[in-house]
Structure 1
Amino acid sequence: MKQKLSLFISMLFLVTIMTVPISAHAETAAKSFADVTEKHYASKEISKLAQMGIIEGGSDGLFHPDSEITRGVTALWLSKALKLKEPVSLKGFTDIPESSVYSYAVNSLKEKGIVEGDEGRFNPEAPLTREQMASLLVRAFKLKENGVNVWFKDESSIGESHYKDVVRLKQHLITDQLEYLPKSRVTRAQLVLFLNRAISQGETGKDEIPLSDFLRKSKTRGIQSSPDGKMTAYVEEFEGHLQIYVDQEGVEQDYRITNMKDRDIENFFWFNNERIVYTTSAHGLEDNHVHSVNPNGKEDKDLTPYDNIRADIMESLSYLPGHESDMLISINNRDRTVFDVQRLNVKTGKMELVAENPGNITEWLTDIYGEARLAVAKDGINTKILYRSSAQGKFESILDVKFGDSFKPIMFSFDETQIFALSDIGRNTLALVKYNLNTKSIGETVYENPEADVTDIVISYKKQAILAVKYETDKVHYHYLDKEFEQLNQAIAKKLPGEQFIITGNPLPESKVNLFVYSDRSPGVYYQYNRKDDTIKKVKDTMPWIQVDQLAEMKSVSYTARDGMTIRGYLTLPKNAGDKNLPFVILPHGGPWARDSWGYDKEVQILANRGYGVLQMNFRGSTGFGKALFNAGNKQWGQAMQNDITDGVNWLIKQGTADPKRIAIYGSSYGGYAALAGMTFTPDLYAAGIDFMGPSSLLTFLETMPPYWDKKKLYMQVGDPGVDKQMMEDYSPLLHVDRIKSPVMFAQGVNDPRVKKKESDQMVMAIRQRGIDAPYMIKEDEGHGFRGYENQLDFYTIMLKFLDTHLKK
């Protein structure tokens, strides 16, 4: 009788702990175990799961962390972690009677397909092996394939029935061991560690924003009004792909006019009131196609339906009599290595050759009547500006531009006697200048900024004038050339104090001015300003679920490199974390012929929200700050360019901002190379590295570049294998993996046209041969970067786990 009563009480206790909410156990089940000291490797996890009521000690009040755990106890813990309901049947296994303390747990797990028996037996007192644990956790927490290629030294000893599950466990970084020891028995403390990691999948801590909020595509972007103002088009996500929607006056609900499934919409514009033109690419191949569609969604047509080509829109010709349905594009369908100018009918798709590329032209420029009359041509490593006086004339060289200088034609003057261009000939920064076509010489300087390059201009075709010149130092600024435009911007600025804004579409409309407003903490909001009554209204928020006050501020900073050169960048510290001894991620930009800018950066905010400081820097070779900084990067991959990054890290450490033992380096494209170079050439500086599609060898990278890239120019900027082979070998991380001391994570798209998958493959294999772990995420449907939401979610989930493992342990 006493035995039956004892079993009844045991069953009652089991049912109770399985049905009471976990929050209740935080008070009633909190325990400290005398045999688990604070120094024990699983002390925090044991305390956490005990407080949650998932695990418990023995009748002696001790936990026995190093004792082997049985299959039955594992089932008890797992059922509590999953909060499983009472099973339908208690007769799932012949060796577990209904009165067994394991009965509810094991049968609940069986009904969920989590546990399996052997000829009807469960063997609850048998010890749990590590490969069995892997299968239980993978089934229980539904760990899916995420594209991470993993490696175990002892993978041949993993049982065939458990192999995929052991791989899943490492794919999700629940284990990061090089030797899994699949047949070894699991201790109670070990199971706690693994179970806690599995439970934590997808969890967000206090003040942490779910990754999905950062990665969801903008609800609305690219708002554009039709020429007559009666319709508005914008891009919005539908079933995983961006689609074009139209909002029409008098129609209650917006309607979708595209149905992309295998291609992504890159951009669009109103060709006229009856036609919208848009471009697409497939799976990261950068094979841009030009499409057109009616605003009602009819007559959707791919105008450039060729394989392995790239088409780029130059301009509309609809303003010209006889060409109301025509536009100009540059396309390499005749020869993959060069781009011709074609006149394209947006209704029929008919193309007519306007200017054939003789093989050396890299850019075309049309006059105000849409005639291709200016071209930029390669001349070895130098550049020539070619010009013809009429569309039927012969191109002649009017300006030689030496390597290291820049001359970038922007537009013909409205009287066609001059060209407006960005030039740094005879100066350091790009200035807006006039080139006189009669005297064949550079004339007046319209505007020059001594600190930064001019990047763009604002034009009014109605006024036939340049309204403002754009440049970027810490932020984007304008130098105004038109008083009306200046006053308009001042009036808008009063309505949006402290915000950055861009006027989209017509810069000087009579009444309604469309605006895109953004900041370092806001991904962007569309507004409309009414000039007539001086009012402003919000139109659409691109990501309304993002709360600005939860995000971190990005501050402009600068530091001095070891040779005295000033390096400008941006520092973002996690909110409410102070400014001392923080874990840090160094984030060099891609390109490298690009720059980091102030504004909302998804990656920066993800890292800051998870407690990491982030440093971005415009190292030499970056654009935007003059040719001295830019040209100082020539043939300096892994050398002075890398020193600028290293000097930034040391600057953080000297200030006490970064904890020197908790710094990682992460980058994409060139930034990926910089991450590998940092891990290779300064191995004591970083605790971990992440390479996203970065070159691993300067030699193999140049061998596989796209056919339309300028090889001679790259030889001057990166290195010439025929002249600089030794230097390129010296600074190729692939050839120096023996210097790497810390783990490196990799990610790569199979279809990448810029940095071939081989660059990552060969580096991963070389590192693994050294016995260093190298998790490697491969996505079959991606190119140079991950665009798909699920792929991005997989990447950032694993990236954060990787960083937490090596920077927060």
Structure 2
Amino acid sequence: MRGFEIAGALALALWCSPSFAQGASQEKATADSVTAAPYSAELFAKLPLINGPKLSPDGQNILFSTQTGGRTFVATRSVTDGKLHSIPLAERLDLNWYRWAGNNRLLISVSQTVRYFDVEARRSYLLTADTASMKPVFIGRDYQGLEGDDLIYVDPEGQWALLSLQRTPYVGPTVYRVTLADGKMEAVQNPYGDIWEWFADNRGVVRMGMSFDRDSWTLHYREGDSGGFRKLATIRYDDEEQKGLIDAIRVISGSDQGYVLSAKGTGRYALYRYNYATQTIGEMVFGNPDHDISDYDLNEDGTPSAAYYTDERRRVHWFDPAKQQIQEAIDKALGARHGSLVSRSRDGRVKIIHVGGPNDPGSYYLFDEALGKMDVFARTNEALSPARLSPSRYVSYKARDGLTIHANLTLPKGREAKGLPLVILPHGGPYGIRDDLRYDAEVQFLASRGYAVLQPNFRGSGGYGEAHAKAGEGAIGRQMQDDLDDGMDWLVEQGMVDAARVCVVGASYGGYAALWAVTRNPERYRCAASFAGVTDWDRILKYDARFFSRSGLRRWRSTIQGDSSFDMDSVSPLKQASRLTRPVLIAQGQEDTVVPPQQAAAYVHALKSAGKAHEFVSYEKEGHGFDDPANLADWLKKLEAFLAKHNPA
């Protein structure tokens, strides 16, 4: 099918879908009985029609991604007349991210697996398209390193951008000024010393760079747009007082002033003023006593606009008192439901807000402050009624070493919270990622089948401060696993869970944790299921080398491994396959560019050779997740059957 035919079919599908609302609408109330038969896997697997919507700077168009017919599209929709335009991506490309460049141009990052020095590696590419033609054009060089999408600045009007690229794998990156309309590239900053990461100020001038050594990183700085860089600070990776100093760097044009997110002093990332010339942290601009500030926005004049953090759910703090008052009014009006800011226009007048909850897939609303009007424009999954799904709550328990672990707990609706079968569902990552109280199709599917579901934010998870993050270093396969075991023990002590009926399920790092749980502690767990799980740490670290300089890779290995004498084979399911005594279900997308298919293939081969009980399912056209709802439904049904066989609810 040609591109315009595919795009036409997508437009028809969007227009005809009840999920894609036209104008004002109200959520349909439901009186479904909790005694009704559980929803089918197909209904849970129904993919959201709208993914990651982003408002254009003028608030007149919405950019989003969607899947239909097994294909991924990047599309735009007019706020005023609903006109749709779309770009179908090539089948073997994974979509990484997309964004606006001005009001009339898109930037899209894609990736694919390639052979690189005789090993598998992921190569990313940058595409651009104007909204009139929606024709994607490659931005970059014929010969460049693996990372082709390292944007360090985008002109607010969308005319040009700064792109950091390696000319060859053997030298540091060059910063190019790219004219987005024609792709012409001009080098504005050549490789400099051992700098590996570049940063620009809020007007697009390259002002800072970062280099990495075996034990430390160094910030390099210049006051203007020319001349050399001087070393500002060299900080050891294990220096907890300054480790968080440079995160989300922002320096203001024409000055040495800017902002940083720093955990120095409080152990929680907060927003501070910072003088880059004197390396001095100034006053705290905004912080939360219990959680890290994860990001912040600046106005065009360089003053803070908004700060973001997550407690049990995602939050935004507005520095404009009027906007903060509106946010508080929205939160109050929604009551038990969660309203999360998704995107906003440059002036903040128009916003996209997602309204939902753990047992509500939710809807996207368009809110116009000037009109005081909030209308739904897309529903995530209108087939599911919140009244028939299971509530979740935010809980905490103590790990064996005293560390507090926060988690989401979902109990099956209509069943007494006593002696329940349990599925532990650790998140991916593992570092810097966390679960919060939002709708999760897999969680709700498992709960609908009678299982309690625990999602622990084990040590190393993001958002809980430096001590929690530091505790995760060198803890893979060790203390991180203890946190899962301790969550199980806590639920057993509460009387909610039957200690004899527990399995572990996960994807990516969570898939690894599931496989390792039954290998390490078969006395605890009856079975494990893994989608795209890591099975061989040495091999995945070699694969991940595409992201790092040599010194950066050493740091990443140190984070994973901890003590350099520790043998990662001792906590790799592949290398310990002979120890397995519990049944496992392994699934893998064959176009995965994050955890390559060889990880699953080698593990399945080892299990076959050792005569170990296992099931394996391959999804030929899937990557590190599910794009095709038929495949997601198939996975859920296979998971249901596997659990029913080995840990019936």
Common fold, TM-score beyond 0.5?
yes
Q: 1:619 to 1:467 in 2, by over 3 A?
A: same
* 1:255 maps to 2:84: yes
| Aligned partner letter, 2:511 | G
Q: 1:685 to 1:605 in 2, by over 3 A?
A: same
1:540 to 378, 387, 396: 378
* 1:556 maps to 2:397: no
Partner of 1:531: 369
Supply the distance in 1 between the matched residues of 2:65 and 2:478 (Cα, whole angstroms): 43
Partner of 2:261: 422
Q: Greater shift after overlay, 337-346 or 584-593? A: 337-346
* 1:391 maps to 2:214: no
Matches within 5 A, 1:333-482: 334-335=168-169, 339-358=173-192, 360-404=194-238, 405-407=243-245, 408-413=247-252, 416-461=255-300, 464-482=302-320
Equivalent position SS for 1:257: strand
| Aligned partner letter, 2:149 | D
How many residue pairs match? The answer is 597
Contact 1:409 1:419 in 2 (8 A): no
Partner of 2:425: 587
Q: 1:282 to 1:715 in 2, by over 3 A?
A: closer
Q: 1:474 to 1:312 in 2, by over 3 A?
A: same
Contact 2:590 2:621 in 1 (8 A): yes
The offset of 1:319, in angstroms, is 4.5
* 1:712 maps to 2:558: no
Contact 2:152 2:198 in 1 (8 A): no
Partner of 1:567: 405
The offset of 1:563, in angstroms, is 1.4
Equivalent position SS for 2:255: coil
Matches within 5 A, 1:289-328: 289-297=125-133, 299-304=135-140, 309-312=146-149, 314=151, 317-319=154-156, 325-328=159-162
Contact 1:502 1:517 in 2 (8 A): no
| Aligned partner letter, 2:128 | S
Q: 1:272 to 1:714 in 2, by over 3 A?
A: closer
Q: Percent identity?
A: 29
1:788 to 603, 624, 628: 628
Supply the distance in 2 between the matched residues of 1:355 and 1:218 (Cα, whole angstroms): 42
* 1:269 maps to 2:76: no
**C-alpha deviations, 1:79-137, integer Å up to 9, x for none?**
xxxxxxxxxxxxxxxxxxxxxxxxxxxxxxxxxxxxxxxxxxxxxxxxxxxxxxxxxxx
CA RMSD of aligned residues (A): 3.0
Contact 2:171 2:191 in 1 (8 A): no
Greater C-alpha radius of gyration: 1
Contact 1:495 1:536 in 2 (8 A): no
Equivalent position SS for 2:638: helix
| Aligned partner letter, 1:530 | D
Q: 1:334 to 1:551 in 2, by over 3 A?
A: farther
TM-score (norm 1): 0.68
Contact 2:113 2:593 in 1 (8 A): no
Equivalent position SS for 2:480: helix
Q: Please state which structure has a larger fraction of its residues in strand.
A: 2
Contact 1:241 1:264 in 2 (8 A): no
Contact 2:273 2:285 in 1 (8 A): yes
The offset of 1:350, in angstroms, is 1.9
The offset of 1:683, in angstroms, is 0.6
Q: Greater shift after overlay, 255-264 or 377-386? A: 255-264
The offset of 1:362, in angstroms, is 4.7
Partner of 1:625: 464
Matches within 5 A, 1:25-36: none
* 1:640 maps to 2:479: yes
Supply the distance in 2 between the matched residues of 1:630 and 1:224 (Cα, whole angstroms): 30
**C-alpha deviations, 1:660-711, integer Å up to 9, x for none?**
2221111222222211221111111111011223233333433443332332
Supply the distance in 1 between the matched residues of 2:170 and 2:632 (Cα, whole angstroms): 31
Q: Greater shift after overlay, 263-272 or 608-617? A: 263-272
Q: 1:304 to 1:552 in 2, by over 3 A?
A: farther
Supply the distance in 1 between the matched residues of 2:292 and 2:479 (Cα, whole angstroms): 22
The offset of 1:794, in angstroms, is 2.9
Supply the distance in 1 between the matched residues of 2:570 and 2:584 (Cα, whole angstroms): 20
The offset of 1:357, in angstroms, is 4.3
The offset of 1:507, in angstroms, is 6.5
Supply the distance in 2 between the matched residues of 1:231 and 1:633 (Cα, whole angstroms): 41
Unaligned runs of 5+ in 2: 1-34, 115-120
Contact 2:316 2:341 in 1 (8 A): no
Partner of 2:21: none
Partner of 2:5: none
Contact 2:71 2:627 in 1 (8 A): no
Matches within 5 A, 1:39-58: none
Q: 1:306 to 1:505 in 2, by over 3 A?
A: farther
Contact 2:59 2:344 in 1 (8 A): no
Partner of 1:209: 39
Equivalent position SS for 1:706: helix
* 1:778 maps to 2:622: no
Supply the distance in 1 between the matched residues of 2:521 and 2:560 (Cα, whole angstroms): 20
Equivalent position SS for 1:733: coil
The offset of 1:628, in angstroms, is 1.2
Partner of 1:801: 641
| Aligned partner letter, 1:353 | A
| Aligned partner letter, 1:406 | G
Partner of 2:445: 606
Contact 1:311 1:331 in 2 (8 A): yes
Matches within 5 A, 1:283-294: 287-294=123-130
Contact 1:466 1:482 in 2 (8 A): no
Q: 1:704 to 1:298 in 2, by over 3 A?
A: closer
Contact 2:55 2:62 in 1 (8 A): yes
Partner of 2:15: none
Unaligned runs of 5+ in 1: 1-204
Contact 2:177 2:188 in 1 (8 A): yes
Supply the distance in 1 between the matched residues of 2:228 and 2:395 (Cα, whole angstroms): 50
Matches within 5 A, 1:153-302: 206-248=36-78, 254-262=83-91, 263-282=93-112, 287-297=123-133, 299-302=135-138
| Aligned partner letter, 1:258 | I
**C-alpha deviations, 1:303-359, integer Å up to 9, x for none?**
348688433253664458xxx621123344632886543222222122223334458
Contact 1:231 1:249 in 2 (8 A): yes
**C-alpha deviations, 1:245-286, integer Å up to 9, x for none?**
4444785x6333323342354443332343333333348985
Q: 1:484 to 1:239 in 2, by over 3 A?
A: same
Q: 1:743 to 1:495 in 2, by over 3 A?
A: same
Equivalent position SS for 1:596: coil
Supply the distance in 2 between the matched residues of 1:480 and 1:532 (Cα, whole angstroms): 17
Q: 1:558 to 1:224 in 2, by over 3 A?
A: closer
Q: 1:238 to 1:306 in 2, by over 3 A?
A: farther
